[in-house]
Amino acid sequence: MTVSYKTMGMLVLPAMLLAASTSLRGQGASEGFTATAAVKAAGGASASAPVTITIDRKMSPREAETLTAAFKSGGAAALRKALVGVKPTGSVKVGAGKATPTRFTIERASGKGRLLTILTDQPLLFLGAGVPGAKPKEGYDFAVIDVEVDASGNGAGTIAPAAKLKMNQDAFVVEDYGGNELVRLTAVKKTK
């Protein structure tokens, strides 16, 4: 895989996480979270913004498996096609921006409680090369959020606000447009 150094920020999501997720609270449980997204660029510049995540439903393992299989067979284009007609799972809002529908939400048990993996089928914003509002780049047309929360709903996570999805053997690779500028979600708190 040829990737420029500006886009090397990657998170690996095991395919089994997407294909065999098990909801701890049921697919219909509505939840809300607030957090602070914070990023610090290599040059020392930093930025933060409030984030609001609403989860209206979590996907069943079968629904997640169908979408994962589509991605395996035809990449991002096939995933997009498979998402047509799929009811949104909630929304995410960054700062004063508009709420963006989430299209994929799964949950699995983790060492600290549970891990929520959330996907939008459009970027939230292009944060790259140390400049907020950087220009869009082809292929970075998803956003991926991972939030780990404890039994009280408090936790932390990461967000790739503009991401390219790829598959490497049985693992999804999330290539963040922002490169090495990892956006951390801090002060995650459950609101409902």
The full DSSP string for 45-83 is -EEEEEEEEEES----HHHHHHHHHHHHHHHHHHHHHHH
For the beta carbon of residue 44, count every other beta carbon within 10 angstroms. Answer: 7
Q: Which residues of 133-165 are buried (b: 16+ CB within 10 A; e: fewer)?
A: ebeeeeebbbbbbbbbbeeebebbbbbbbbbbb
> So what's the pLDDT on residue 46?
82
> So what's the pLDDT on residue 100?
96
CB 34 within 8 A of CB 50: yes
> So what's the pLDDT on residue 179?
66
> So what's the pLDDT on residue 188?
97
How far is C-alpha 12 from the geometric centre of its chain's CA atoms?
12
Q: Which residues of the chain have pLDDT under 70?
A: 1-29, 42, 127-137, 169-172, 177-181
Distance CA 148, CA 158 (A): 9
> So what's the pLDDT on residue 53?
98
**Which single residue is written with the structure tokens 């035809």?**
74
> So what's the pLDDT on residue 175?
77
> So what's the pLDDT on residue 1?
22
> So what's the pLDDT on residue 3?
23
The CA-to-CA distance between both ends of the chain, in Å, stands at: 42
